[in-house]
Amino acid sequence: MKRIFTFFLTTIALLSCDKDDGSVPGTVVPTRLLSEVAVEDDAELQEYLKTHFYNYEEFENPPAGFDFKIVIDTIAGDNAGKRPLFEDVSVEEIMVLPSFSFGLSDQDDEIAHKLYYVEVREGQGDLPTEGDNSILRYEGSFLDGTLFDASTTPVRFYLPNLVRGFAEAMTKLNIASEITENGDGTLAFENYGIGIVFIPSGLGYGNGTGPTGNIPSYSNLIFKLDGLSFEESTDFDGDGIPSILEDLNGDGNLNNDNTDGEIEQLFLPNHRDNDDDNDGILTRDEIELDADGNFVAFKDTDGDGISDHLDNDN
Ligand SMILES: [Ca+2]
Ligand SMILES: [Ca+2]
Ligand SMILES: [Ca+2]
Ligand SMILES: [Ca+2]
C-alpha cells in the first residue's frame, strides 16, 4: 500500500507539461530525517531572504514599458541599501508527515515547515482554492539562480497534482479582473496577481528529484508566479462534489483524505475517487445535485452523522 502510494505521489507530482526528453535519471541519495532537513532548509532560506532583494521599486513606480517581471539580486555594492526580501515575505506554517508525503516509513511525526511568499502585485480577481484548476505562468529556479523549469505561456494545472508549496502559493494570488480574447486564440489578462514563493524541500520534492530528474534531492526552490485565472469549484473526479469539498480534514492537502483507503487497493483519495466509500454506488448517486448536475448538499439517510457517499453501509 505504502509503496504504491509513494510511487503515485511521485508520479503525480509533475509540474511541467513540456518535459525535457534529455533528462538524466535522478541520483538516489540516502534518505534523511525530515526533522533535520527542515531546520537546515529554513536556515538556508532565511539567509537567502536576508541577503537578496527584488525589484520592488519598479513594481512600486513602474517605469515606461516595464514588463512586470520579478528580478532578484544580492544586496551588495550599489545595491547595499536595498530592502531585503525578508522584510517583504509573509510566512505560512504547513505540517508535513514524512511517511505520507515521501514514503519515509520510519518517520511518523509531523514536521512544521515555513513557506515564504511575497504578493508582489495584488490581483484584482478572485482566489482559487487548493482544489481548483489554476491557469498560470511560472518560472522555477534554485537558490543559486539556476533555472530548472518555466512556462512563459499560460498553462493549466490541477493544484493537488503539484508539490505542496507551489499549490499553496497559488491560493494566495488573486487572479485577473478581466480576461479577453485577443482574436488569435490567445487570451489577455488584466490586473492578475504576481508573486514569488520560497519553498523548503519538504514542501517541494523532498528526497525526490522532480518529474524530469533535474532537481537534486532536498532542494529548496523559488517560483515566480503569475496567477491568471482558475476554474471555480473544479470537480476532478466528476462525482458531483467540487474537489475542495473532498478535503475532509480541511488541511488544504486533498491527497490525505481517503475514506475507503482500508478496503481499496489503489491510491485513490476522495478527490480522485467517484465512489468514495467503495459501496458500489457512485458518489454522484448518493448526494443531492441540481438539474444541471451541480452540487447542492450531502445526504444522511440513516441519520448516523455520516454522509451517504462516505457511508458504506448506507
Ligand atoms: Ca469530486
Ligand atoms: Ca486533507
Ligand atoms: Ca470523490
Ligand atoms: Ca454509501
Chain segment 90-112, per-residue pLDDT in tens: 999 999 999 999 989 889 999 99
Q: State yes or no: pLDDT of 222 exceeds 70.
A: yes
Ligand nearest to the CA of 269: 3
Task: List, for residues 159-192, the tens digit of each pLDDT value.
Answer: 999 999 999 999 999 999 999 999 999 999 999 9
Supply the pLDDT for residue 266.
80
Please choose, from the candidates 260, 287, 252, 257, the residue with its C-alpha nearest in 3D space to the C-alpha of residue 271.
257
Per cent of the chain over pLDDT 70 is 91
Beta bridge mates, 120: none
Are 105 and 159 within 8 A, CB to CB? no
Distance of CA 240 from the midpoint of ligand 3 (Å): 8
Distance CA 2, CA 265 (A): 11
Arithmetic mean of pLDDT over the chain: 91
Q: How far is the CA of 310 from the centre of ligand 2 (A)?
A: 15
pLDDT of res. 29: 78
Contacts of 133 (CB under 8 A, 6+ apart): 156, 157, 158, 159, 230, 231, 234
Q: Where are the domains of the chain?
A: 2-231, 237-314
Ligand 4 mean position, distance from CA 300 (Å): 9
Going by pLDDT thresholds of 50, 70 and 90, the confidence category of residue 2 is very low
Separation of CA 297 and ligand 4 centre (Å): 15
Separation of CA 267 and ligand 3 centre (Å): 13
Q: Is 309 left (phi over 0), alpha (psi -120 to 50) or beta?
A: alpha
CA of 213 to the centre of ligand 3 (A): 31
pLDDT in tens, 105-162: 889 999 999 999 999 999 999 999 999 999 999 999 999 999 999 999 999 999 999 9
C-alpha cell at 307: 454522509
What pLDDT, in 10s, does the model give residues 4-60? Answer: 344 344 434 444 333 343 334 556 678 999 999 999 999 999 999 999 999 999 999
**Residues in a beta bridge with 294:** none
Tell me how far the alpha carbon of residue 5 lies from the centroid of ligand 1, in angstroms: 20
From the CA of 161, how far away is ligand 2's center (Å)?
14
Identify the CATH assignment for 2-231 out of 2.40.160.10, 3.40.50.410, 3.10.50.40, 3.10.20.90. Answer: 3.10.50.40
Cα-to-centroid distance, 273 and ligand 1 (Å) = 7
- Residue 117 in grid coordinates: 511568499
Nearest ligand to the CA atom of 270: 3
Q: Which ligand is nearest to the CA of 300?
A: 4
Give the pLDDT confidence score for residue 5 in this predicted structure: 41
Query: What number is the average pLDDT over the span 260-271?
Result: 89
